[in-house]
Amino acid sequence: MISMKPGIVILVGAGPGDEGLLTLKGRDWIERADVIVYDHLVNARLIRFAKKEAELVYAGKKAGVYTMSQEAIHSLLIEKAGQGKTVVRLKGGDPFIFGRGGEEARALKKAGIPFTVVPGVASPVGVSAYAGIPLTHRDFSSTVSIVTGSNEKSREDLPIDWQEIARRPGTLVFLMGARKLPRIVENLIRYGKDPETPVAVIQWGTLPRQKTWTGTLKTIVETARKENIQPPALTIVGDVVRLKESIDWFETLPLFGKTIVVTRAEDQSASFIHLLREKGADPLAFPVIQTVPPDDWEPLDEALTRLAQYDGLIFTSVNGVRFFVQRLAHWDKDIRELKGIRIYAIGPKTAQAVRGLGIRVDVVPEQFVAESLLESLGGEDVAGKHFLLPRAAAARETLPEALRARGAVIDVVPAYQTLPPQNPNGDLAARLRRHEIDAITFTSSSTVKNFMAMLDEPSLLADTVIACIGPITARTAEDLGLRVDVVPEQFTVEALAAALESHFAQ
């Protein structure tokens, strides 16, 4: 009888919240996992790295309520690994800093299950850095003590030597202690800590909804009561808190805390989302289009058989470049087929996509719209010349009509089409009703049309900033009854992000 080879369990620290703080090794294991058992404070965006067939098991604890007991988690990890599976135990912060990773590792060792530990950015380290409070500083503190603020064993008193903790001169960090802040402060003062000692409480650290309250041991409890501070929160006690005013960086980012909807297709939104996140925003991906092949390849295929007949090839989008090249490859052709053809590209991103193929771009207009390309062709005699325009199945006719009016012959062939998504995010309307959305961005007329078709109550947008990448998109939005607040001078997502920054700065 052949026995099944046991799998492995990987205890992965997911960091304190910001998905960018996940380690490369942690991501690698998530991508390879057959099973992922994750906690409440793990950023849900990290799950997108998992393969589609991975089994996802939520084992989080919220407000003291357990989804699974710790013993049940041990049994689950042992069971799944015993079936020969690769199991990732995904934990907020670091597995061994009040993450009960040590208990899980011992249970696995006892059961003979191989395991690996991938450390994560611990919440004291990550949250304090994002709050602009260094835990050590040569002028203020040379020691750090990390203390649990929760009472895991339900004792009447916290299992802490308060006399010892209170007399320590360095920085004190309390995790999971939002609800027991009065008890913590009371004991620190009772055992000799100066009531004027600075205190900071940071909620939802490292995320765009991060909020920090500062005070002293004498005042912080009243502040917490008035502000109704709830978990998750981390408390820092010590003179280093005074440094926040001069070091603060995250909460002062230009778009900090702004929830901005990105309607671009999912496979094209990453760079824009990254830009917004770098400016402190909380981007909400709400793709209203998906880019797919055309219903019929025949027009493009026919054009590819006679590329040598064309004088010019016009690309109006990155998608046009991508699908055109993919179709070339489908017929076992490559860029050598474009020898002698002038290449025109509307927009720097489109031109960059072409150059990335090793092809020189002959004309890039100053403005990133069809009208500007026509201006760039002003000194060029196009009469009798033959152009190929591979583009979206549905698009404006401005460019083809203008070229034909000047005597050119132009073949417009669908290289792709944009369709509404199959599974739209149904939570957006509810968030608009709760006034949780600060801005909605549109990067094409298609995104505007599809978004408005999906939104049952246009009145929900009355107080929301509408930002469009350029005048054509803005005109579409206005024709559909929207008030457009932001249009950048250059029609790129970089300029759109900068324009949003300027708008909110005012």
Supply the CATH number for residue 72's domain.
3.40.1010.10
- CB-neighbour burial class of residue 201 (10 A; exposed 0-12, middle 13-18, buried 19+): buried
Q: Which residues contact 440 (CB under 8 A, 6 or more apart)?
A: 260, 261, 263, 451, 461, 464, 465, 466, 467
Domain count along the chain: 4
* 12 and 88, same domain (yes or no): yes
| Strand, coil or helix: 302 | helix
Asked, for residue 277, whether it belongs to a domain, the answer is: yes
**pTM, rounded to two decimals:** 0.81
- The answer to whether 61 is a known catalytic residue is yes
403 within 8 A of 382, measured Cβ to Cβ:
yes
At which of 121, 154, 172 does a domain end?
121
- The pLDDT of residue 2 is 43
Same domain, 133 and 194: yes
User: Which tokens is 82 given?
Assistant: 């015993």
| Beta-bridge partners for 7 | none
Could you tell me if residue 97 is inside a domain? Answer: yes
Is the same domain home to 310 and 366?
yes
39 an active-site residue?
yes
- Asked, for residue 353, whether it belongs to a domain, the answer is yes
Q: Note whether 87 and 9 are within 8 A (CB).
A: yes
Among 392, 417, 442, the domain boundary falls at: 417
Distance CA 346, CA 469 (A): 14
Reference 231, options 281, 277, 166, 180; nearest CA is 180
Nearest alpha-carbon partner for 38 in 80, 95, 92 = 92
What string of pLDDT tens digits covers the 506 residues of the chain?
344 677 999 999 999 999 999 999 999 999 999 999 999 999 999 999 999 999 999 998 776 667 899 999 999 999 999 999 999 999 999 999 998 999 999 999 999 999 999 999 999 999 999 999 999 999 999 999 999 877 545 554 457 889 999 999 999 999 988 899 999 999 999 999 999 999 999 999 999 999 999 999 999 999 999 999 999 999 999 999 999 999 999 999 999 999 999 999 887 888 999 999 999 999 999 999 888 999 999 999 999 999 999 999 999 889 999 999 999 999 999 989 999 999 999 888 889 999 999 999 988 876 555 566 666 665 678 889 999 999 988 877 888 888 888 888 999 999 999 888 776 666 888 899 999 999 999 998 989 999 998 888 888 999 999 999 999 899 999 999 999 999 999 888 999 999 999 999 98
Q: What is the pLDDT of residue 425?
A: 60
Q: Which of 86, 121, 156 is the last residue of a domain?
A: 121
Give residue 290's pLDDT: 86
Contacts of 243 by beta carbon, 8 Å cutoff, 6+ apart: 132, 133, 134, 137, 140
Q: Which two three-digit tokens encode residue 178?
A: 């939002």
The reply to whether omega before 232 is within 30° of 0 (cis) is: yes
On whether both 87 and 146 belong to a single domain, the answer is: no
Q: From the candidates 34, 80, 94, 176, which is the catalytic residue? A: 176
d(CA 399, CA 403): 6
Question: Are 18 and 63 in the same domain?
Answer: yes
Q: Is residue 254 a part of any domain in this protein?
A: no
Q: Note if 80 is an active site residue.
A: no
Asked, for residue 263, whether it belongs to a domain, the answer is yes
On whether both 404 and 426 belong to a single domain, the answer is: no
Domain-located, residue 252:
no
Domain that holds residue 399: 293-417
**Measured distance CA(101)–CA(119) in Å, rounded:** 10
Same domain for 431 and 499, yes or no, is: yes
> What is the CATH number for 328?
3.40.50.10090
- Tell whether 229 is covered by a domain: yes
For the domain that residue 188 is a member of, what is the CATH number? 3.30.950.10
Same-domain check for residues 88 and 166: no
**429 found inside a domain:** yes
Cβ-based neighbour number of residue 60 at 10 Å: 16
Catalytic-role residue among 39, 80, 94, 279: 39
- Report helix angle 445-454 to 471-479, nearest 10: 30
